[in-house]
């Protein structure tokens, strides 16, 4: 996971393709364009830039899947 912007008070944390694969179906992700997408329902492309997808979550450590996001950060 990588913080998208240091200037935002609630930044988007981008995920890698490997992290995306480990996320549960049905999780809502936000794209850098501001739109929301649901894994398993919406088309989420796997185009990566600098190792990360253009999708992620805000406030990952208070998210429903916070344990998984913490693991992602710890293994970096």
Is 76 in contact with 4 (CB distance < 8 Å)?
no
**Is the pTM of the predicted complex or chain greater than 0.85?**
yes
Convert the pLDDT of each residue in 18-65 to its tens digit: 999 999 999 999 999 999 999 999 999 999 989 999 999 999 999 999
The count of domains in the chain is: 1
Domain range for residue 25?
Answer: 2-74
Is the per-residue pLDDT at 7 higher than 80? no
> Greatest CA separation found in the chain?
31
């Amino acid at each position: 996971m990588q913080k998208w912007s240091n200037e935002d008070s609630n930044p988007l944390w981008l995920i890698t393709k490997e992290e995306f694969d480990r996320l549960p179906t049905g999780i809502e992700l936000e794209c850098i364009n501001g739109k929301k997408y649901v894994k398993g329902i919406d088309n989420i492309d796997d185009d990566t830039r600098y190792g990360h997808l253009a999708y992620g979550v805000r406030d990952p450590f208070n998210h429903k899947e916070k344990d998984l996001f913490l693991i992602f950060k710890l293994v970096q």
